[in-house]
Amino acid sequence: MKHTIPARSGKAHRLEKGQSVRVINTHGNQVVDFWAFNANDFREYMGMEHCRAFWSRLFPVAGDKMLTNRRRAILTLVEDNSPGRHDTLIAPCDNERYGLLGCTHYHDNCRDNLHAGLANLGITIPYTPNSLNLFMNIPWRQDGSLEWGNCLCRPGDNVLFTAEMDCIVAFSACPQDMLPINNGTPTEAHFEIV
């Protein structure tokens, strides 16, 4: 079944161990912030810093396990049908971030989208882990500087994860429209449970 992640909004879904979720870049220009939590203990969640140490890379490739903050596998990236650019460095956007970029009013953001998606499942947590920023192109240079690159995806590009434990996965169709990461126009995305 295909589920819509509305533009600038968030969703969450329960996955049983062995189930898979496909995250689809429907229109080819949308970053999707992605999280996973142990369904039986929300204090355990997919940790980007733990993943990078395990992979010895800045971004995942097909076959990589996503580790939690307790260094246990929560998901495996089974397929990557995209250019393979996924960011693990940049924190989820929040209203404060948009203020630093010059926005003078409330701006939809990935932090609030995460919590809204979880709330729809009756879940409340007091923190926001770093996300795996699917399809987000953040080129880096040898001197350590970063760029905010346009998304490199084509319509329909997707990634497939399989759950290694019962978990809650959450998604935000990133609303960033002040930097070029969504090619200037946030759009909807989709996910499928397979």
- Could you count the other beta carbons within 10 Å of the beta carbon of residue 139? 11
From first to last of its 194 residues, the chain has per-residue pLDDT tens of 899 999 999 999 999 999 999 999 999 999 999 999 999 999 999 999 999 999 999 999 999 999 999 999 999 999 999 999 999 999 999 999 999 999 999 999 999 999 999 999 999 999 999 999 999 999 999 999 999 999 999 999 999 999 999 999 999 999 999 998 998 899 999 999 99
Q: What is the pLDDT of residue 1?
A: 82
Q: What is the pLDDT of residue 184?
A: 85
Strands (E), 46-180: 65-67, 73-81, 132-134, 157-163, 167-173
Q: What is the pLDDT of residue 127?
A: 96
Q: What is the pLDDT of residue 20?
A: 98
Q: What is the pLDDT of residue 159?
A: 98
- Could you count the other beta carbons within 10 Å of the beta carbon of residue 185? 10
- The size of the chain, in residues, is 194
Q: What is the pLDDT of residue 48?
A: 98
